[in-house]
Amino acid sequence: MSTRLKDFATAVVAVVEPETSAFVAAQLMRKHHVGALVVVDAAEKSRPVGILTDRDLVLALMAEGLDPEVFTAGDIMSVELVQANPEMDAMDAVALMRRHRLRRLVIVDEVGRLTGVVTMEDILELLTRELADLAAGVIGARDREFEQRA
């Protein structure tokens, strides 16, 4: 299987700026049905500077009883952003996610502009399709053999 991230990753990404309140960020996650928001530079809105996940909100704020209106995305985002290239092979992305123990990768072009996000779910969907195609091929080969021997 040789599938590039740009062939299947999510291209429309929900973003926030670092100054966005954690409360607003949580509302955006709900509105867009996502578990993460890419935090982009306030001046260069296409340049990612971090990622804010639903887990960050829970562990950094809710579990500590802190007010989400007071804290911002920039306060609680993950800043060690692991980035992928749109041309990266899906299996290389899996290896990168495993090495860094991540559920998602931010995809940026050669000049660092946000072009998408790929999640474990995206890759599982891709692999499921690949396995279904493989199974269909096996069944087809078996059926062809039955027809030839009949």
Reduced to 3 states, what is the DSSP secondary structure of residue 55? helix
State pTM to two decimals.
0.84
Q: 16 near 24, Cβ under 8 Å?
A: yes
**pLDDT (0 to 100) of residue 149:** 79
- Pairing mode, if any, of strands 48-53 and 114-119? unpaired
Could you give the dihedral angle defined by the CA atoms of residues 3, 129, 117 and 81, in that order, rounded to the nearest 10 degrees?
A: -80
For the chain, the residue count is: 150
CATH number at residue 34: 3.10.580.10
Digit-by-digit pLDDT tens for the chain (150 residues) are: 579 999 999 889 999 999 999 999 999 999 999 999 999 999 888 999 999 999 999 999 999 999 999 999 999 999 889 999 999 999 999 999 999 999 999 999 999 999 999 999 999 999 898 888 787 877 877 777 767 877
Structural domain for 38, as ranges: 5-149
The domain total for the chain is 1
Among 10, 29, 23, 34, which residue's Cα sits nearest to residue 106?
A: 10
The tally of CA atoms less than 13 A away on the side-chain side of residue 72 is 10
The CA distance from 112 to 20, in Å, is: 22
Question: How crowded is residue 148: how many other Cβ atoms within 10 Å of its Cβ?
Answer: 7
Instruction: Tell how far CA 123 is from the center of its chain.
Output: 9
